[in-house]
A and B are shown apart, each in its own frame.
Chain A
Amino acid sequence: MSNNQFDSELDCQGLNCPLPILKTKKAMDGLSSGQILKMMATDPGSVNDVQSWTKRTGNPLMDHSEDNGVYSFLIQKK
């Protein structure tokens, strides 16, 4: 990912739907506006799920990438 700055990290590797989204929501609740969460997951469905979640809640998805089966997301608190 181009920009690796984040304020908090959440590891959801090995967790299956819907846990990555549920834990992301909880983690995001703990952030202040403007802060960025880095979330990692191995669930392939999480790519679509995170995009759906950020679209629905209005928290921008700054970046996402995949490396050897691990998906990383940078989500900013609106």
Chain B
Amino acid sequence: MNEDKPKRMALIASQGTLDWAYPPFILASTAAAMEMHVAVFFTFYGLTLLKKKISAKVAPHSNPAMPMKMPYGPKEFQNIEWPMPKMLMGNMPGFDTVATSLMKETFKKKGVATIEELREICIDSGVKLIGCQMTMDVFGFSQNDFVDGVEVGGAATFLEFAADSDIQLFI
């Protein structure tokens, strides 16, 4: 299958936690590698993924389905799913920071790219990154806060691209 007209994909990235940062950047970078034209519209918490330095965290107590495993130690130890009471996860200061470090360590050991790496590949392969003007205004972000190459637009900008796209996803 080798069509003349390249496929297009339009994504909306509305979330800013580490676990939600992966889907838009994985999809966008891979679609670009498959020679599709891609635009990702970052809105609300997704805007934080456009910051020069990304500080996305993961919140275990908001994700009851998250398996809590350790990336260290012998294989049997690593396979243990630690039951974490919600009260512990919600009330222990710094739990999110620990959980974020563990998740990043797990990803590193499994050879998963970092968000920063995926974002750079997106930019290098011509993926359009668009910041939602309205949310920028509301949250007090300016284009200076973002990496180079980010465009700014509103709903109409996204919809124009999406109207001619083959794949449209809201993340």
Complex: chain B residue closest to A20, CB-CB: B111
Interface size class of A (residues with CB under 8 A): 10 to 19
Asked whether A22 lies within 8 Å of B121 as measured between CB atoms, the reply is yes
A53 contacts which chain B residues (CB < 8 A)? 33-34
Q: Is B30 an interface residue (CB 8 A)?
A: yes
Q: How far is the CA of A15 from the CA of B108 in the complex (A)?
A: 10
Total chain B interface residues with beta-carbon distance under 8 A: 15
A62 within 8 A of partner (CB): no
B26–A17 contact, CB under 8 A?
A: yes
CA distance A17 to B2 in the complex (A): 23
Q: Is the CB of B1 within 8 A of A18?
A: no
A69 to B145, CA, bound (A): 44
Q: Say yes or no: is B110 at the interface (Cβ < 8 Å to chain A).
A: yes
20 extra A-B contacts, CB within 8 A, seeds A19-B112, A53-B34? A14-B111, A15-B111, A16-B111, A16-B112, A16-B113, A17-B26, A19-B113, A21-B33, A22-B29, A22-B33, A22-B113, A24-B33, A25-B33, A25-B34, A53-B33, A56-B1, A56-B34, A56-B35, A57-B2, A57-B34
Interface centre among A17, A19, A53 (most CB of B within 10 A): A19
Give the chain B neighbours of A55 by CB distance below 8 A: 1
Contact with B along A1-39 (1 / 0, CB 8 A): 000000000000011111101101100000000000000
Chain A residue nearest to B124 in the complex (CB): A26
CB distance from B103 to the nearest CB of A (A): 14
Beyond A55-B1, A56-B1, A58-B2, is A18–B35 a contact (Cβ under 8 Å)?
A: no
Q: What would 15 A/B residue contacts be, using CB atoms closer than 8 Å?
A: A16-B111, A17-B112, A18-B118, A19-B113, A21-B30, A21-B33, A22-B30, A22-B33, A22-B113, A52-B34, A53-B33, A53-B34, A56-B1, A56-B34, A57-B2
